[in-house]
Structure 1
Amino acid sequence: MNKILVPYDFSELAKHALDFAAQIARKANSETVTLINIIEQPTPSDFKTMGVSAADPMENIWIKKMIEKAEANMEDVMADESFKDITLKYKIVLGNPFQELAEEIKTQGVELVVMGTSGASGAEEFFVGSNAERMVRYSKAPVITVSGPASLDGVNDIVFASNFHEVSGDFIAHVKKLQAMFGAKLRLVKINTPASFTTTRHDKKQMEDFIKEHNLDNCTYETYNFSNEEDGVLAYSEDIGADLIAIGTKQRKGIGHFLAGSIAEDVVNHSKVPVWTFGLENG
C-alpha cells in the first residue's frame, strides 16, 4: 500500500480520515500520503446568482483567493509534528471533485483512498454525499470511509458481507491484504432476506466451499436474517461489535442483487465504523 490518497476539505471528518490514513501508512510503510483539495470552479449561473458575470475578472480573483487560502491551510497541516514520521504531500486542483479524484487515482497509481463521510444528509461538507457515494461505486482503488475518529489498533473483527458468488479472485486478494494489515478476524456473513431466501444448509455449504476455495484463515461464517441486505449488514456488525466492514460494489445498479452499488453506498452512509469498499468489476 505505497500510495494513499486523502480527499481533504479541512473539515473535522477530513482530519479524521487523515489521521486514520497516517496510521495505515505507518503500519504498511507506505511511500506517501497525498492530500488533495479540489476547488470546484463556479459555473456561469453561480456567478450570475452572486451578481457577477462569468466573464468578470472577479472570477479569477475569487479562485485565486480560494487557492491561496487552501495553500496556507495545507502548509499548516504539513507543519504538524504528528505527521513528521510519514511522507505527507498535497495537491490543490480546480475542477469536478469526482473526476479529479478518479484522474489522480489512475495517473498516480493510488492504492488506497481514505475519506470522510457524514452520510447522505451531510450536504454542508464538500467531500460527502454524492461525491463519496460515487467514489465508493466507481473508484479503481479500494476506499475506506470514516464517519468519525478511528483507530488502527482497534480493528480486531472485520465483517465481510457477501453473497459468496460473483466474487473475483482479485477482490478476495484485496480482502486478504486488508485482513493481514489489521491482523484481524474475518467474519463472513450472508444476509438472508425474504426476497432472496436460501436455506441454512445451502448457505453453510456455500460459505465452507468459499473459505476452502480462497484459502481463508482466521475467519468465522454465518447467515443473518433481516428484512433487507444493507440494514442487515449494519445490524449484524453492531451485534458482534465489528470494528470495520468490508463490502464489494458493482458499477451497475443490480436490483435484486446483493453487492449492488446502492447497498454498499447505504452501508457507507449509515455505518458507525469504518467501511472498506472495492469494485468487484475492477479486477
Structure 2
Amino acid sequence: MKKILIPTDFSSNAMSALQYGVSLASALGEVELTLLHTYEVHSNAGMFVSVSDFMKKDAVDQVLEAIKKVEPRLQNGVTIDSQILRGNTVDLITDFARRNQYDLILMGTQGASGLQEIFFGSTTNAVLKQSEVPVLAVPAGYRYAPVEKIVLAIDEEGLSDQSLVAPLVSISKAYDAPVCVFHQSAAFDRDGIDPSVDAALSGLAHSFHYELEKEQVNESINSFVTDCGAQLLVMVRRQRGFLEEVFHVSATTRKVFSTSIPLLILKEC
C-alpha cells in the first residue's frame, strides 16, 4: 500500500482521520499521502468568480495549516501533498482515487449517537458505495492505537479474488497483527468459511471463529471485536443485483456508523 488519499473538510472528525492516516502511513513506510479538499460554489452568475476564488484561497490556507501540523510526525519515508478541487465531493473523491491509482481512501465518519439511520446519506457512506478503491472509515473521536489484532468479518461467499485483501495483508504485516476471521452461521454443518479466505491469508497469522446465529450480525460482530480486543475491523462489500439492493440493507453500510474502531471496506469487483 503506497498511496493513500485523505479527503478533508477541515472538521474535527476529518482532522482526527488525518492524524490516524499519518500514523498508519508511518507504520507502513514509504507511503504517499494526499490531502484532498473539495468545494462547490452555489451563487449567482455575477458572483461566481469572486466567491470561487475566495473559497479556493481559504482552502489553500487551511490545507497548508493542516499539513504543517502533521509534517513533524511523518516517518519512514512518508510524504504528504495536497489537492484542491471544485465540484461534487463524492464524484471528485472517487474519480480522483481511481484515476490516480490510490490504494486506499481514508476518511472520518460522523458520530451517530444511536441515530445511525440519519447518517446513511453522509459523504463517507456515499464514497463507500461509489468507490472502486478500498475505504478505511475512522469513527469520530477515535484515538489512534497500533493495530495488534484485526477482525475480518465475512459471509459464506468467500473471496472471488485474493488480491481483494491486499490492504488487509499490508496492514497485518506492518504491525505483525494476527487476523481473526469471524463468520456467523445458521448451522455449522451446512455453512462455513470458504477455503478461498484461508488461501488469501496464507503467510499471515490467522484463525477462524464460528458463531451460531443468535442475534443480528452487527451485534455479533461488535461483540466479537470487543472480546478479541481488535483495533481494526475489515468487511467485504458485495456487488448485488438491483432487487437485492432494494430489499437488502447492507450490514457493511450499517457498520460504518456503529463500529467503535476503524473499519476497512474491501469492495468486490
Query: Is it true that 1:58 corresponds to 2:51 in the alignment?
Result: no
- Matched residue, 2:224: 236
**1:82 maps to which of 48, 72, 75:** 72
Q: Is the 8 A contact 2:134 2:266 kept in 1?
A: yes
Whose Rg is larger? Answer: 1
Q: Give the 3 Å change call, closer, same or farther, for CA 124–213 of structure 1 in structure 2.
A: closer
* Match among 210, 213, 219 for residue 223 of structure 1: 210
Residue 124 of structure 1 deviates from its aligned partner by 11
Q: Which residue of 2 aligns with 1:180?
A: 173
- Contact 1:143-1:276 within 8 A present in 2 as well: yes
Say if 2:236 and 2:268, in contact at 8 Å, map to a contact too.
Answer: yes
Matched, 1:246 2:234: yes
Q: Secondary structure at the match of 2:256?
A: helix
Equivalent position of 1:16 in the other structure: 16
**Residue in 1 that maps onto 2:6:** 6
In the alignment, the residues of structure 2 paired with residue 267 and residue 4 of structure 1 have an alpha-carbon distance, to the nearest angstrom, of: 22
Q: C-alpha displacement at 1:177, in angstroms?
A: 2.7
Unaligned runs of 5+ in 1: 48-53
**How much has 1:172 moved relative to structure 2?**
3.5
Moved over 4 A (4+): 119-125, 253-257
Distance 1:251 1:272, change over 3 A: same
- SS of residue matched to 1:5: strand
Distance 1:150 1:253 in 2: 37
CA RMSD of aligned residues (A): 2.9
Residues 196-242 of structure 1, C-alpha deviation per residue, up to 9 Å, x if partnerless? x2x22444xx3384555443642222223343223322232123322
Amino acid at match of 1:79: K
SS at match of 1:220: strand
Instruction: Deviation per CA, 1:74-94: give whole Å up to 9, x if none.
Output: 111232253454321111111
Change (3 A) 1:188 1:10: same
Amino acid at match of 2:123: N
Aligned residues: 258
Change (3 A) 1:251 1:213: closer
Contact 1:234 1:271 (C-alpha < 8 Å) held by counterparts: yes
Partner of 1:68: 57
Deviation at 1:102, TM superposition (A): 1.3
Distance 1:234 1:40, change over 3 A: farther
TM-score calculated relative to the size of structure 2: 0.84
Q: Which moved more, 1:130-139 or 1:109-118?
A: 130-139
Distance in 1, Cα, partners of 2:109 & 2:66: 20
Task: In structure 1, give the amino acid aligned to 2:226.
Answer: E
How has the CA–CA distance of structure 1 residues 60 and 200 changed in structure 2, closer, same or farther, with 3 Å as cutoff? same
1:160 and 2:149 are equivalent in the alignment: no
Moved more, 97-106 or 215-224: 215-224
> Pairwise mapping of residues 260-271 of structure 1 onto structure 2 (< 5 A)?
262-271=250-259
Q: Do the aligned partners of 1:122 and 1:129 also contact (CA within 8 Å) in 2?
A: no
Distance 2:125 2:180 in 1: 24
Report the Cα distance in structure 2 between the residues aligned to 1:13 and 1:122, rounded to whole angstroms.
16
1:196-215 equivalences under 5 Å are 197=186, 199-203=187-191, 206-207=192-193, 209-210=195-196, 212-214=198-200, 215=202
User: Is the contact between residue 33 and residue 89 of structure 1 (CA under 8 Å) also seen in structure 2?
Assistant: yes
Report the 3-state secondary structure (helix = DSSP H, G, I; strand = E; otherwise coil) of the residue aligned with 1:270. coil
The answer on 1:137 being equivalent to 2:129 is yes
Q: Which residue of 1 aligns with 2:25?
A: 25
C-alpha separation between the residues in 1 aligned to 2:241 and 2:254?
A: 13
Q: What secondary structure is seen at the aligned counterpart in 2 of 1:170?
A: helix
Structure 2 unaligned spans of 5+: none
Q: 1:153-189: CA deviations, max 9, x gaps? A: 2x11111111142412222344323322332111111
Aligned-partner Cα distance in 2 for 1:119–1:88 = 27
TM-score under structure 1 length normalisation: 0.80
